[in-house]
């Protein structure tokens, strides 16, 4: 079984929306493939001898939708972070306060 991992994405701020668009295009292709498979299951259910195969295909479809949901969640997280960054005031990193010398 495939294992899931979480990764972070680094990139040029201005390019993030187009990077997400590419991820969404790949997701759209996966949705199309899944739709095709689901339509195939619907057609095959008219034949009783195909029901067992349809059960297997439905499990594949569920896994595909799970992957689609994960990818959409990733895109949402990236875009939310992007919006938060562009809507926050620019703040330069602040230097830590100088150490105070004790007078012993």
- Only one residue has tokens 């594949």, namely 60
Q: Using the predicted structure, report yes or no on whether residue 4 has a pLDDT greater than 70.
A: yes
**What ranges do the domains of the chain cover?**
25-87
What is this structure's pTM?
A: 0.74
- d(CA 45, CA 35) in angstroms, rounded, equals 15
What is the DSSP code (8-state) at residue 3? P
CA distances, 84 to each of 16, 69, 89 (Å): 13, 22, 10
> Is the Cβ–Cβ distance between 54 and 41 less than 8 Å?
yes
Identify the pLDDT of residue 97: 61
Q: How far apart are CA 20 and CA 2, in angstroms?
A: 23
Encode pLDDT of 78-88 as tens digits: 999 999 999 98
């Amino acid at each position: 079984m495939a294992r899931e991992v979480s990764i972070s994405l680094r990139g040029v701020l201005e390019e993030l929306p187009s990077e997400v668009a590419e991820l969404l295009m790949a997701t759209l292709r996966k949705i199309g493939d899944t739709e095709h498979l689901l339509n195939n299951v619907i057609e095959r259910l008219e034949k009783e001898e195909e029901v067992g195969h349809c059960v297997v295909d439905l499990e594949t479809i569920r896994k595909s939708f799970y992957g689609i949901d994960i990818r959409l969640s990733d895109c949402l997280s990236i875009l939310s972070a992007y919006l938060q960054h562009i809507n926050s005031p620019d703040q330069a990193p602040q230097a830590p306060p100088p150490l105070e010398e004790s007078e012993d």
